[in-house]
Structure 1
Amino acid sequence: MSTTTTVLAVVLAALFLLLGSAKLAAVPAMRQAAAHVGMTTTHYRLLGTLEVAAAAGLLAGLRITALGAAASGGLILLMAGAVVVHLRSSDPAARCLPAAVVGALAAVHLVLLASG
């Protein structure tokens, strides 16, 4: 595994561990974000669980490539869903950009793992 792949996995894992934990803890900013897009706090916590699981999968993928690939694939799907939810909520395109960028980074990670 290349240094680039490892660094990308660690950065993505740290990001999603932080964001997923904030959703699980239902911090006020996350409750507001959930309400903004019409989600319940329970639904947002489920998304947080998936994000924390993906972070764990990315880190486990440093040893077991298939787990890292599965985690990257899951994050791509989660971020595509986030873009759709923002667009359905009539958010401006700029509000979708973070999810699109992070989804693209997860896709790069997946491609790097596949090229291996």
Structure 2
Amino acid sequence: MSACGGGGAPTARGAIAYNASAGYGSIVVSHTSQPDANTDALKKCPVGGCAIVLEFSGNGTCGSLVVSSNGAWGVGSAGSKEEADSRASEQCTKRGGVGCHLYQWNGLILNGQPIVGQDTMQCN
């Protein structure tokens, strides 16, 4: 999953919360403080046991989470979605992931709202 934020604010904050054992998570963007972004991501994670796995900040900065079929995962942030995805894939591979990629989620929760066509985020 990946998302970019900012809304014109140079210090916009985002976070990804993830529960690796359950395969669920959430991503939030465009918060004015990192504690607010972290709290919101944890609150919007559709299952308990989620932890903040990535904090990112800056207007237009993107955060990404990729997962491997063997359970390895990685995160990354950058000024573009493509670079954030690439960094997350590299980290996943370094953690022993095989075929690390962005899943077509059964659901991705972005700022508390399901992404169009996706209801909850599960990556296994």
Q: Normalization by structure 1: what TM-score?
A: 0.28
Bigger fraction of residues in strand: 2
Which structure has the highest helix share of the two?
A: 1
